[in-house]
Structure 1
Amino acid sequence: MTTEAATERRAGRPRSERAEKAIVEATLDLLAAESGVAGVTIEAVASRAGVGKTTIYRRWPNKEALIVHALAAVKRPLPEPSGGSVRADLLQLASTLGAERKRKHAKCFWNVAGGAEKYPELYARYRHDIIEPRRAVIRGVLSRGVETGELRADLDLEVGVTMLIGPLTTRPPGEGLPDGYAEAVVDTLLRGIGAPPE
């Protein structure tokens, strides 16, 4: 590769990164709008991001793949808890889930979940790629709790996961949680699923 070609390649990478960032932001902005998923089209994203449609199609085969990628960019996997105690781990996870509600693009996830019936393939991919890995982290904490005897031996892990996530995610997007709410959710849950005293 010539020095000139190498320089062009290095110079092209930032432009590519800028284009991808603009595409993701445009997708999220459209998804958060009142029209939700219906308002996200490749044409609309391209126009808003200031790129050509071919630039988008080179990266994503369709709008569903683009939307899931954009959501993954702002809804990263939950942190792996320290493993100190079930209560400490669940409180860390609950606090993380609660803090996400204040983020700029919180409404995007609300719109995707709300459009599950109309866009089942999109929702299935969103759940598989983004939601399930997060549930797996919580499931792991509960499973360890059963093994250590902190939680009931007959605990249904899926029910436990849903019982933690539900109170933290069903409020309207953008609405913060009251002080101490995450802790109250965890402690209330543990009163039901904690191992009975000997």
Structure 2
Amino acid sequence: MSDIDDPAQSRPMALLDRDGVLNRDTGYPFRPEQIVWIDGALDALARLREAGYRVVVVTNQSGIGRGFYTERDVTSLHEWMADVVRSRGGWISSFYYCPFSPEATIEAYRQDDHPDRKPNPGMLLKALSDFPTNLGRSLMIGDRDSDMAAAVAAGVRGFKFPGGNLDHFVRSALAQFQEG
């Protein structure tokens, strides 16, 4: 294991949303065959690892509360995604997901304002506290205003991904981050 993979080493953290950032948002994907990687996503994850960032995924998953799939389905998909990322030179240290939403049809998951559901920062704060983190160099990449609001609330710089090639976007974000 290299030191970037060592959970005890302090690193800057790259918090990434999943649907719309790593994979196309095709409407509640939960099986590997439903995942269409965003152009440049696997290269971006390798770039972040090479730059010394610990990568974690923070994703709202209301499809669980809506009964479209289970928490086990999500964890299985995340294990598969992590394997694909590793095979391409990247590394995802952890996945955090929030199954709660006001629209949940399964009562156990119905909550109006769960602290983990973005735009709330709960998942980000958990990730930042679960690993020794250089907060001053940490960042969030998401595709929605709710991702940016969560980043602000968690005290990290947010970068809103407009689509296109994620590797190009990450390269630019890292350069901007280092400048400012």
TM-score, with length taken from structure 2: 0.29
Question: Looking at CA atoms only, which structure, 1 or 2, has the larger radius of gyration?
Answer: 1
Relative to the length of structure 1, the TM-score reads 0.27
Higher helix share: 1
Higher strand share goes to which structure? 2
